[in-house]
A and B are shown apart, each in its own frame.
Chain A
Amino acid sequence: MQIELRNLIPEYIETGDRRNSQIWSQNIIIKKGEHLHIVAPSGSGKTSLIQFIYGLRRDYTGAILYDNNEIRKLSTEGFSSFRQNKIGIIFQDLKLFEDQTARENIEIKRILNPYHTEEAIVEMAGRLGIKSKLDQKSKTCSYGEQQRIAIIRSLMQPFDFLLLDEPYSHLDEENRKKAMSLIYEECEKRGAAMVFADLKPLELLKGEKILQL
């Protein structure tokens, strides 16, 4: 699978603001296996870009294509098929079910199209240091813990692309490393591409194609 951004411009952005952008108004093709790092300060449109690609927003001109299919023409049913099998995501605002436990939050995604067994949840939670939080309601977990729940949830499905929107913003250095290595491992297993949006280039990322927004 490949994702193509064709002359993509958010409707709300001024012409001047996108003059130096390596993404807006450009033609970009992201192929399976590639690692793309999008760097930009807050408020410059990282989350918008991720949401455009995931199909949550349509306030842009230009086109986004999944395998040559314009996503504006995709039905909600079509989107759900891509979201189950091809594209994973970690939202900046995490989007967890507050009243569900950490385990239930992860399980809800896993059962949709299981790539891992239920045991893998415990194993990954152990690696990220939230094993003891699995049966706690997610709203009672700290933001950092919630971020790790969201990371594990995104890794439960098969995917060709993983979209990450500031996934480590509330993690300390050590946990950031752990999470990063888990994500790398999982992408490697699937030969998947990573589209990683963050405020600044992370030292942990090596060999990524870095684009300024």
Chain B
Amino acid sequence: MKFSYKKIQPLLISGKNTFSKWLGYFGLGIGVLLLLVSMQMFFNIQQLLRENSPRKSGFDFISISKNITNENMGKDNSFTNEDLRKLKEQPQIVGISPLIANQFRVRATAGDIIPFSTDLFLESLDDNFIDTVPPSFTWQPGQTIVPIIFSSDFLEMYNVFAPAQGLPQLSPKTISSVNIILDCSGPGGIQYFKGNIVALSDRINSILVPKTFMNWSNMHFSGDTAVHASRVYIKTRDANDPQLISYLDQHDYHLNKDKIKFSRIKSILQNIVSSLGVFGILVIVLALMLFSFYLQLMIAKSKDNLRLLLTLGYSPKWLAKSVAKTWLPVYLFIIVGALIITEILHLFFLQISFVNNANLPPLLHWSVWLTAIFLLALTVFINSRLVKKELEHII
């Protein structure tokens, strides 16, 4: 049938009871917007988490050390093999890695460009506990260049005091081009190495060198092969696990939680956003329900007219299709509108200062688009099914 539906539309859609209709539209709009926005924010936060967080693949990495008190001051406060074994046995702890420090003297100078000289400490840690390990972070005996992973907090501190000392401030990019001369000395002799900062770490507050270099140099310069770990890194699913915290307290271990706070806040944010998304789905379901009540009521009201149209020869299939199609522009408007508002909110989000540096794309995540298309298809499908069912009742 090619004729226009417009001529029979007044017979089917009464102008009355528009309140529930508009309430349905409004609810649907709010629900779709909530769902799309929370989805986009979820992806945004996830992306930020991936870029900035010390928390990776669902694990927290925290460092513990023994509490220094007046009683144990001056004693050896490093972790014994027994301590490490017991730590490993804890069910909340997935893995541990002791930070091994140098047992010889290290002096660092930065050459002629930066007139800087200081005593230094070096530490080493298992590679899989470090958040940024470039392929160049390796060392073999005989190699004069030692790759270094530098704490980004240290860089920040350096940049704070550098101007007062007449030293140049350094960006994360330029720091890799600074030549550091490492002057290692001990009973075993004296040797110069060229230090090269290959990466910055947000997670580890230390100056890290490859484990191979640390083992070799401790052996070579001080002849000491025993493990002296005053700090141990713990890999755990949840650093806030009450059992873990009580175990650490019992053993008088000090926990450095600074690094995990940010990631915690972000996972809380993510939970809030997810709940908003679930709430959005709920609102959509309620709005669709309200809308179907409106539809049922409308069809019930126009029952006589519909029956007469069928008697006159109108095809039930065509009628169902046409009635259902009436709302297609409304649904399209609601969902496209929600998409546009989501995009605007997303662009606003990108302007927020802490997000500014992140590499977030300006367009919405593809699954937000997909969800919008799915919602459109779903509303059209539910609508036409409902109309068809109601018409079948009449026939």
A contact residues vs B (CB 8 Å cutoff): 56, 76-77, 79-84, 95, 97, 100, 104, 107-109, 111-113, 157
Known: A97-B305, A100-B11, A104-B7. A109 touches B312 (CB 8 A): yes
> With A and B bound together, what is the CA distance between A115 and B383 in angstroms?
34
Known: A76-B395, A77-B316, A80-B316. A95 touches B8 (CB 8 A): no
> With A and B bound together, what is the CA distance between A80 and B7 in angstroms?
18
Instruction: Check if B310 sits within 8 Å of A80, measured CB to CB.
Output: yes
Give chain B nearest CB distance to A106 CB in angstroms. Answer: 11
Q: Can you spell out 10 A-B residue pairs with CB atoms less than 8 angstroms apart?
A: A80-B313, A80-B316, A83-B311, A83-B312, A95-B311, A97-B11, A100-B10, A108-B7, A109-B312, A112-B313
Q: Report B-chain residues with C-beta under 8 Å of the C-beta of A82.
A: 313
Known: A76-B395, A77-B317. A107 touches B312 (CB 8 A): no
Across chains A and B, the number of contacting residue pairs, with CB separation under 8 Å, is 47
Interface size on B, residues (CB 8 A): 19
Q: Report A-chain residues with C-beta under 8 Å of the C-beta of B309.
A: 108
> With A and B bound together, what is the CA distance between A75 and B155 in angstroms?
81
Q: Report B-chain residues with C-beta under 8 Å of the C-beta of A83.
A: 311-313
Instruction: Check if B3 sits within 8 Å of A111, measured CB to CB.
Output: yes
Instruction: Check if A111 sits within 8 Å of B314, measured CB to CB.
Output: no
B1 at the interface (CB under 8 A from A): yes
Q: Report B-chain residues with C-beta under 8 Å of the C-beta of A112.
A: 1, 3, 312-314
The chain B residue sitting closest to A84, CB to CB, is B313
Instruction: Check if A56 sits within 8 Å of B311, measured CB to CB.
Output: yes
B299-324 at interface with A (beta carbon < 8 Å): 305, 308-317
Instruction: Check if A76 sits within 8 Å of B316, measured CB to CB.
Output: yes
Instruction: Check if B4 sits within 8 Å of A111, measured CB to CB.
Output: yes
> With A and B bound together, what is the CA distance between A56 and B310 in angstroms?
10
Known A-B contacts: A83-B313, A95-B311, A112-B313. Give 13 more (CB < 8 A).
Answer: A76-B316, A79-B313, A80-B310, A81-B315, A82-B313, A83-B312, A84-B313, A84-B315, A97-B308, A100-B11, A112-B1, A112-B3, A113-B313
The chain A residue sitting closest to B313, CB to CB, is A83
- A-B complex: 10 closest residue pairs judged by Cβ atoms: A83-B313, A111-B3, A84-B313, A80-B315, A76-B316, A80-B313, A76-B395, A95-B308, A109-B312, A112-B313
Interface flags, B94-109, vs A, CB<8A=1, else 0: 0000000000000000
Q: Report A-chain residues with C-beta under 8 Å of the C-beta of B305.
A: 97
Give chain A nearest CB distance to B201 CB in angstroms. Answer: 72
Q: Report A-chain residues with C-beta under 8 Å of the C-beta of B313.
A: 79-80, 82-84, 109, 112-113, 157
Q: Report A-chain residues with C-beta under 8 Å of the C-beta of B316.
A: 76-77, 80
> With A and B bound together, what is the CA distance between A196 and B305 in angstroms?
26
By CB atoms of chain A within 10 A, which of B7, B308, B312, B315 has the most?
B312
> With A and B bound together, what is the CA distance between A107 and B4 in angstroms?
11
> With A and B bound together, what is the CA distance between A73 and B7 in angstroms?
31
B271-310 at interface with A (beta carbon < 8 Å): 305, 308-310
The chain B residue sitting closest to A114, CB to CB, is B3
> With A and B bound together, what is the CA distance between A74 and B58 in angstroms?
63
> With A and B bound together, what is the CA distance between A79 and B314 in angstroms?
9
B10-24 at interface with A (beta carbon < 8 Å): 10-11
Give chain A nearest CB distance to B309 CB in angstroms. Answer: 8
> With A and B bound together, what is the CA distance between A108 and B184 in angstroms?
99
Interface flags, B163-181, vs A, CB<8A=1, else 0: 0000000000000000000
Instruction: Check if B315 sits within 8 Å of A77, measured CB to CB.
Output: yes
> With A and B bound together, what is the CA distance between A76 and B392 in angstroms?
10
Q: Report B-chain residues with C-beta under 8 Å of the C-beta of A104.
A: 7
Instruction: Check if B317 sits within 8 Å of A108, measured CB to CB.
Output: no
> With A and B bound together, what is the CA distance between A208 and B89 in angstroms?
107
Q: Report A-chain residues with C-beta under 8 Å of the C-beta of B310.
A: 76, 80
Q: Report B-chain residues with C-beta under 8 Å of the C-beta of A84.
A: 313, 315
Give chain A nearest CB distance to B229 CB in angstroms. Answer: 82
The chain A residue sitting closest to B305, CB to CB, is A97
> With A and B bound together, what is the CA distance between A77 and B305 in angstroms?
18
> With A and B bound together, what is the CA distance between A104 and B316 in angstroms?
20
Give chain B nearest CB distance to A128 CB in angstroms. Answer: 20
The chain A residue sitting closest to B2, CB to CB, is A111
Q: Report A-chain residues with C-beta under 8 Å of the C-beta of B4.
A: 111
Q: Report B-chain residues with C-beta under 8 Å of the C-beta of A107.
A: 7
B204-230 at interface with A (beta carbon < 8 Å): none
> With A and B bound together, what is the CA distance between A157 and B3 in angstroms?
14
B369-395 at interface with A (beta carbon < 8 Å): 395
Interface flags, B342-355, vs A, CB<8A=1, else 0: 00000000000000
The chain B residue sitting closest to A91, CB to CB, is B311
Give chain A nearest CB distance to B164 CB in angstroms. Answer: 89
Instruction: Check if A108 sits within 8 Å of B8, measured CB to CB.
Output: yes
Give chain A nearest CB distance to B326 CB in angstroms. Answer: 17
Give chain A nearest CB distance to B304 CB in angstroms. Answer: 9
Q: Report B-chain residues with C-beta under 8 Å of the C-beta of A80.
A: 310, 313-316
Q: Report A-chain residues with C-beta under 8 Å of the C-beta of B395.
A: 76
> With A and B bound together, what is the CA distance between A112 and B1 in angstroms?
7
Instruction: Check if B315 sits within 8 Å of A108, measured CB to CB.
Output: no
> With A and B bound together, what is the CA distance between A100 and B10 in angstroms?
9
The chain B residue sitting closest to A96, CB to CB, is B308
> With A and B bound together, what is the CA distance between A151 and B305 in angstroms?
19
Give chain A nearest CB distance to B391 CB in angstroms. Answer: 9
B160-200 at interface with A (beta carbon < 8 Å): none
Q: Report B-chain residues with C-beta under 8 Å of the C-beta of A108.
A: 7-8, 11, 309, 312
